[in-house]
Structure 1
């Protein structure tokens, strides 16, 4: 609602005050009752700057996601040695995160500079929430698969049975199929799609009190967050323990060999163990970005709506979107092979160190060819 209605004013702290009869969502397009819960309408309007900041943040996250996930897809698909079965899950995560921001960041970013509230209609709200359900589920489950694969490789060691590339692709296809079927529930009467607190984005409606809707939200909460979180913590706990044991063995070996510096004995640590050292970062990032949104959903399930203001409900949703931009940094940039490929193919980004020997060899071949 901008410009504000007659009677609105700014106080000395720059807080915007509205007349008592003005309500949140008064400027919504007509015909959105199907996706608008009355709970959100009872509040006074939020400061327009909040929605403006959400729109700006969405656009920034969209560009970050395109750059980060686009680079991951380009590098992993272009570099043959990186097209391993393990990296199939990383590629899938990047693809899912990119689709999430293209389908969410773009419409919200456009919307916010044209109208203050959702302008795309009921059907597009449902499609928006449907695509968010698919990509959110795929991203979470991809983290589980990455954790499982790395746990299998690092903890199992040389005796571990590696996942073949064909099996990895089949697992990814099964994951997309499961996520699509799960997100379709509201289209068939199980669950509901609706506008979220700030009335600028859509998701599963966790406000409705009927059993059909609450059972769907509970199912989604358990199978798409709680169970995957337990698996992720379990896998990375095993990885962390393996790293601790490995380093203890290196210290023992260094003492027997009379090596003065433990770092000297650690210098040949393999790539998998280096990657494993970011395990706790992965877990903390995942929990930190998804837990606030889960808490909001739980508040909706318990019926404690007094604390569920539009701002409280809207901010965690934005936090979840940041995951799609941070995932490439955590899962790909920490990969030594990826960093080397980045230095070779995209040196302008300044990430990684180029293989000097390979560069010299290519230079020699070029000179030889020219002579």
Structure 2
């Protein structure tokens, strides 16, 4: 059988294609909303917010460049385009995956630095620094995506025939060092850094809240705001890592064990679950932030004229994190948050 022919049933292929189509549509719409709102308030954007926008760009890029080909292949019962598109799909998927996990890692570090002294009027992280970090994220991801093309690692079709990625089963010998390095530097280490930073933020907020109560200082609102930001950031990180963890475990099984022992239908599920990671970020914003939900509902699309969309001018601080406080009771808080 041709390695680009699906090993799944036609009905399952159609189902997988429909699932990917839904994921693509939701991802494109959700991440476009985040980017549109960011553009509308670009002059007032905070440094950490730029990293959230950068994450939305990676998710949008994956949805636009990958999913249409995957949907068409699923409905055709075979991978379309052969070796050329397989190489393209594997490279693009690996590129956006590494960019996403590193973006989440840098975002966690930046938020931890900001949390060290929330009431300080001095800016902890400058916009210039964050822009350099964003450029580093893209460059780092590109370097890793190019390694298999240069001979360290390999791209190839998935065993079920409807997707392409790193050829795990073919890297048991010549690409083993690549697999270990990739998992260590692009999954295990970033995961520890992410959860370590958010644990540190939690401790900082706890002691800050306790100190404010003991000293009767008027800073509880700052703590509450950053607690809400922390919840959203943690959910975004857990969502991404949780989506990719099953795929990573199945991939490692292919390295250390015989991948033929895993039925194609079972291998399909982690792959589909991983692809859904591009949907969760705007969905989390919508579910856990009344401010983002309110702004989405105010968004008015115009099919005619030069303005394609319009967002209300009431977008306030931290709207990319999609959290806002009651401005009647939080004028002092907003002033103090200008540096964070």
Tell me if TM exceeds 0.5: yes
- Pick closer, same or farther for the CA change 1:282–1:249 going to 2, 3 Å: farther
2:99 corresponds to 1:145: no
Query: Aligned residue for 2:275?
Result: 321
Asked if structure 2 preserves the Cα contact closer than 8 Å seen for 1:149 and 1:163, the reply is yes
Query: Aligned residue for 2:166?
Result: 204
Tell me, what secondary structure is at the counterpart of 1:156? coil
Q: Measure, in 2, the Cα distance between the counterparts of 1:234 and 1:62.
A: 32
Q: Measure, in 1, the Cα distance between the counterparts of 2:227 and 2:130.
A: 22
Q: Measure, in 2, the Cα distance between the counterparts of 1:82 and 1:335.
A: 20
Q: Which has the larger radius of gyration?
A: 1
Query: Aligned residue for 1:365?
Result: none
- 1:120 aligned residue (70, 81, 87): 81
TM-score, reference length from structure 2: 0.80
Asked if structure 2 preserves the Cα contact closer than 8 Å seen for 1:82 and 1:338, the reply is no
- 1:136 aligned residue (97, 105, 113): 97
| Correspondence 1:23-172 to 2 at 5 A | 26=1, 28=2, 45-80=7-42, 82-113=44-75, 115-159=76-120, 162-172=124-134
**RCO comparison, higher one (Cα < 8 Å, 6+):** 2
Query: Aligned residue for 1:232?
Result: 194
How far residue 145 of structure 1 moved from its aligned partner, in angstroms, is: 1.4
- C-alpha RMSD of matched pairs (Å): 3.4
Asked if structure 1 preserves the Cα contact closer than 8 Å seen for 2:114 and 2:125, the reply is no
Which deviates more, 48-57 or 76-85? 76-85
How far residue 282 of structure 1 moved from its aligned partner, in angstroms, is: 3.3
Give the paired residue count.
310
Q: Measure, in 2, the Cα distance between the counterparts of 1:307 and 1:150.
A: 43
- Pick closer, same or farther for the CA change 1:125–1:235 going to 2, 3 Å: same
Q: Can you give the 5+ residue segments of structure 1 that lack an aligned partner in the other structure?
A: 1-25, 258-263, 359-371
How far residue 246 of structure 1 moved from its aligned partner, in angstroms, is: 3.3
1:239-293 Cα deviation digits (max 9, x unpaired):
1222333343455467xx9xxxxxx995675533321133442343233212101
2:130 corresponds to 1:176: no
How far residue 234 of structure 1 moved from its aligned partner, in angstroms, is: 0.6
How far residue 308 of structure 1 moved from its aligned partner, in angstroms, is: 2.6
2:231 corresponds to 1:277: yes
TM-score, reference length from structure 1: 0.74
Asked if structure 1 preserves the Cα contact closer than 8 Å seen for 2:299 and 2:312, the reply is no
Which deviates more, 211-220 or 302-311? 302-311
How far residue 300 of structure 1 moved from its aligned partner, in angstroms, is: 1.4
Q: Measure, in 2, the Cα distance between the counterparts of 1:334 and 1:62.
A: 22
Q: Measure, in 1, the Cα distance between the counterparts of 2:198 and 2:213.
A: 22
Q: Can you give the 5+ residue segments of structure 2 that lack an aligned partner in the other structure?
A: 303-310, 316-325, 328-340
